[in-house]
Amino acid sequence: MSFDYEKYLRPGKLPHIWCPGCGHGIILKGLIRAIDKCRLAKNRTAIVSGIGCASRLPGYVDFNTVHTAHGRAAAFATGMKLADPELTVICVGGDGDGVAIGGNHFIHACRRNIDLTYIIMNNNIYGMTGGQFSPCTPTGAFASTTPYGNPDPVFDIARLAIGAGATFVARTTAYHALQIDKLITEGILHKGMAIIEVVDGCPTSYGRRNKFKSPSDMMTWLKDAAIPVEKTEGMSEKDLEGKIVTGILHRDETRPEYCEQYALLRERAQRKEG
Amino acid sequence: MKKVALIQGNEACAQAAIYAGCRFFAGYPITPSSEIAEVLSRKLPEIGGTFIQMEDEIGAMAAVIGASLCGLKAMDATSGPGLSLKQELIGYACMAEIPCVLVNVMRGGPSTGMPTGPSQSDIMATRWGTHGDHATIAVAPASCQEIFSETVRAFNLAETYRLPVHILMDEIIAHMREKIVFPEEGELEVLNRAEPTVPPAAYKPFDASFGDVPPLAAMGSNYRYHVTGLNKAEDGFPTTKAALVDAEERRQLRKVDVAAVAKNEEYLLDDAEFVIVSFGVVSRSARFAINQLRNRGIRAGMLRPITLWPFPAQRVAEVAKNARAVIVPEMNLGQMIGEVERAVCGACPTRSILRVDGEPITPQQIIDEVEEVQHVL
Ligand SMILES: Cc1ncc(C[n+]2csc(CCOP(=O)(O)OP(=O)(O)O)c2C)c(N)n1
Ligand code: SF4
């Protein structure tokens, strides 16, 4: 029997706003499969986003959904999770949303190791506003605000997350559809901050300017550029240039989770009080 | 016996928040508000609440809104630079209609200004800081006892109207120590937001058939819904349909019952020829000045807005009718005077006393101004 996505989609909210060939829809399906695998109760699951094409995802799914302000998903989610630690809180959003304007909240949520699952839909561009470059746009690439090629170096989101203290960090691409739900499932089940970066294509605002003639060219790029982390042993930085390293890149089950730490703090405060 | 203590304004605010049922505080340190965070970092965990110091003021405001969405009464405290950073999310709370309380212990500005100097220069930033049209409620206490009661009222107003409510203090009253008598449990009214009673499938977070302030469900309860900062329809989902956008925008503005929210102190106003409109620490100088002037046979009185926004325009207009002049001392370069002039509308002359040098307006300044006005009129 084929998978029943409709069970999790809000009736009457489709069609979505995404362009034909946009990678975001593939990630939406992966997220739904992961939620189904984890058997999350709809009422006890919140999906929180920022602003952007990717951040429109919550409107389509039948959970508690919060479409916040640009870059603020992790900070809203931090408040929600602390207010209701048993609630499963999942953040979604674009690369610009997550690590440009939202970079400060992103790294500090990682540092706290609060039990959120954050899916970054990294299409290397500001899609919604028409293709201005993001911190993830490759150096030299063309965007509406890099007519001479992008002069900026690129953020490696996964490394940023690891450096900041996230305890589960994984990466895949929109081409690797089945790996998306596997990694998100692991992320949801992980106690602590889980970052899942899914590299995907924005044919409209990125592809057209960068020699991807069609959405399928973008898929081919994702397929060819991906390399499973297990196969990177012995490879140098130079060998890995232009590659997308996929799989679970970091996992640490030893660091305490923030809400649990706060619960202990409360106990200490109350012992002192009493 | 009632508990009595000599405490600082900021501490009174923190204690009152707990009395009002606040169980979540997120903030970012900034003088002269930090004591509120310090007190709550100790007190909240003792009673099962949560304190978090966020990475910046935007994050703090976001966490407060998130916690409130999940059903907690939540608060944040800051000063001018932090208020500037929070503006986008203050607008979010207005648009998505999520209650919260935001304390602003005012310092001068623009920019970093004078961190340890008192000021009243955020009157307009509070009213108009975030973009777009929106209702604003702000309360402005003038003593430690009043900081307590107004903080409780601020939570009540936030919960009643589903709005961010501002508590505006200046550095002097926030750092001043005064005796306060702690109200007993139940002595002050404590209100909670209306929760939905409809079956979950019928719930709409902005359903105007329940009045201008529709019930708000806690996320994670049995009600699932969508929240956005986009213009939304009754069901919470974004819309660009002209009629729906218009209806929602107008309801969001209309929902604050100006008469019910209004609160003024009127001091010797009945026969006053010279009406002083002032709030916060300035009202304390004004009271002293009025007593002196009365001793000299000059009939001065004060209208003190305790609810600063919505501004008590109607009351100002009424008292101006019998006044020889309305005088507005304020610690900025002319903010409240604009509201007063609009209300007085030429019924009598208006005068400003402005001060932005980090020193409070003295009673003598007010006395001098009244005497001068008396001579020229
Ligand atoms: C404070 C603020 N600044 C700028 C914008 C305009 N804006 C909307 S979406 C967006 C970029 C979104 O890009 P990304 O997060 O990468 O998501 P995508 O659209 O590519 O999915 C920007 C800059 C905004 N909404 N708010
Ligand atoms: S602009 Fe790009 S990111 Fe946005 S929907 Fe279209 S393809 Fe997707």
| Each residue's pLDDT tens digit, B17-54 | 999 999 999 999 999 999 999 999 999 999 999 999 99
- Residue B8 pLDDT greater than 90, yes or no: yes
Tell whether ligand 1 has an atom less than 6 A from the beta carbon of residue A70: yes
Q: Nearest-CA neighbor of A69 among B100, B65, B213?
A: B65
Pairing outcome for strands B4-8 and B177-181: antiparallel
The Cα A112–Cα B37 span in angstroms is: 19
Q: Do B224 and A108 touch (CB under 8 A)?
A: no
A62, A72, A90, A97, best to mutate vs chain B, most B CBs in 10 Å = A72
CB interface of B with A, residues 222-261, below 8 Å = 222-230, 237-238
Burial of A54 (0-12, 13-18, 19+ CB in 10 A): buried
Closest ligand (CA of A21): 2
- Chain B residue nearest residue A88, CA to CA: B220
Asked if residues A130 and A205 have their Cβ atoms less than 8 Å apart, the reply is yes
B188 Cβ under 8 Å from any chain A Cβ: no
- Residue B91 pLDDT greater than 90, yes or no: yes
Question: Which residue pairs from B289-295 have beta carbons closer than 8 angstroms and sit at least 24 positions apart in sequence?
Answer: B289/B363, B289/B364, B289/B366, B289/B367, B289/B370, B292/B363, B292/B367, B293/B367, B293/B370, B294/B268
The ligand 1 atom nearest the CA atom of A100 = 15
How many helices (H) and strands (E) are present in chain B, helices listed first?
13, 15
pLDDT score at A273: 64
Alpha helices per DSSP H over chain B: 9-19, 34-46, 57-69, 80-96, 123-128, 144-161, 171-175, 242-254, 258-261, 280-295, 313-321, 336-344, 363-376
ipTM: 0.97
pLDDT score at B376: 86
CB-defined contacts A:B, below 8 A: 138
Å between A126 CA and nearest CA of chain B? 19
Following CA atoms B286, B292, B295, B301 in sequence, which dihedral angle do they give, to the nearest 10 degrees? Answer: -10
Q: For chain A, which residues lie within 8 Å of any Cβ of chain B, measuring from their own Cβ?
A: 10, 13, 42-44, 46, 48, 51, 58-59, 62-69, 72, 75-84, 87, 104-105, 107-108, 262, 265-266, 268-270, 272-273
pLDDT tens-digit readout, A119-169: 999 999 999 999 999 999 999 999 999 999 999 999 999 999 999 999 999
Which of B26, B45, B88 is closest, CB to CB, to A79? B26
pLDDT score at A1: 67
pLDDT tens-digit readout, A161-200: 999 999 999 999 999 999 999 999 999 999 999 999 999 9
CB interface of B with A, residues 56-75, below 8 Å = 56, 58-60, 62-72, 74
- Residue B308 pLDDT greater than 90, yes or no: yes
Cα end-to-end span (Å), chain B = 53
B88 Cβ under 8 Å from any chain A Cβ: yes
Burial B191-214 (b: 16+ CB within 10 A, else e): eebbebeeeeeebbbbbeeeeebb
The sign of the dihedral angle between the CA atoms of B227, B255, B328, B143 is negative
Phi, psi angles (nearest 5°) of residue A54: -60, -40
Architecture field, domain B265-376: 3-Layer(aba) Sandwich (3.40)
pLDDT score at B2: 87
Q: Nearest-CA neighbor of A49 among A35, A61, A67?
A: A67
Q: Nearest-CA neighbor of A244 among A102, A138, A100, A166?
A: A138
Region B273-279: mean pLDDT is 98
Q: Do A79 and B63 touch (CB under 8 A)?
A: yes
Phi, psi angles (nearest 5°) of residue B143: -150, 165
Tell whether ligand 1 has an atom less than 6 A from the beta carbon of residue A135: no
Residue to substitute in A55, A57, A129 for testing ligand 1 pocket (most ligand atoms within 8 angstroms of CB): A129
Å between A248 CA and nearest CA of chain B? 28
The ligand 1 atom nearest the CA atom of A121 = 21
A8, A16, A49, A68, best to mutate vs chain B, most B CBs in 10 Å = A68
The SS3 assignment for B156 reads: helix
Same fold, B4-181 and B265-376: yes
Region A75-101: mean pLDDT is 98
pLDDT score at B107: 94
Which residue, judged by its Cα, is nearest atom 12 of ligand 1?
Answer: A52
Q: Do B59 and A108 touch (CB under 8 A)?
A: yes
The SS3 assignment for B349 reads: coil
Å between A155 CA and nearest CA of chain B? 20
- Residue B172 pLDDT greater than 90, yes or no: yes
pLDDT tens-digit readout, B227-268: 999 999 999 999 999 999 999 999 999 999 999 999 999 999
Region B74-100: mean pLDDT is 98
- Residue A272 pLDDT greater than 90, yes or no: no
Phi, psi angles (nearest 5°) of residue A232: -95, 0
Q: Do A265 and B88 touch (CB under 8 A)?
A: no
Residue boundaries of the structural domains of chain B: 4-181, 265-376
The ligand 1 atom nearest the CA atom of A69 = 26
**Strand arrangement, sheet containing B137-139:** B50-53, B22-27, B73-78, B100-106, B164-170, B137-139, B307-309
How many helices (H) and strands (E) are present in chain A, helices listed first?
8, 10
What residue ranges line ligand 2, CB within 6 angstroms?
A 18-19, 22, 24, 53, 123, 127-128, 202-205
Position B377 confidence tier, pLDDT thresholds 50, 70, 90: confident
- Chain A residue nearest residue B227, CA to CA: A66
Q: Do B65 and A76 touch (CB under 8 A)?
A: yes
| Ramachandran class of B246: left when φ > 0, alpha when ψ lies in -120 to 50, beta otherwise | alpha
Residue labelled with tokens 């305890």 = A167
Q: Nearest-CA neighbor of B334 among B352, B348, B350, B347?
A: B352
Asked if residues A74 and A106 have their Cβ atoms less than 8 Å apart, the reply is yes
User: What's the CATH number for B4-181?
Assistant: 3.40.50.970
Going from the N-terminus, what domains does chain A have, and what CATH number goes with each? 6-230+237-273 (3.40.50.970)
Q: What is the 3-state secondary structure (H, E, C) of B234-270?
A: CCCCECCCHHHHHHHHHHHHHCCCHHHHCCEEEECCC
Q: Nearest-CA neighbor of A180 among A193, A205, A199, A160?
A: A199
| Ramachandran class of A242: left when φ > 0, alpha when ψ lies in -120 to 50, beta otherwise | left
B226, B231, B232, B235, best to mutate vs chain A, most A CBs in 10 Å = B226
The sign of the dihedral angle between the CA atoms of A56, A74, A76, A101 is negative
CA of A126 to the centre of ligand 1 (A): 6
Position A274 confidence tier, pLDDT thresholds 50, 70, 90: low
- Residue B1 pLDDT greater than 80, yes or no: no
The SS3 assignment for A34 reads: helix
Residue labelled with tokens 């001091």 = B267
State the average pLDDT for chain B: 97
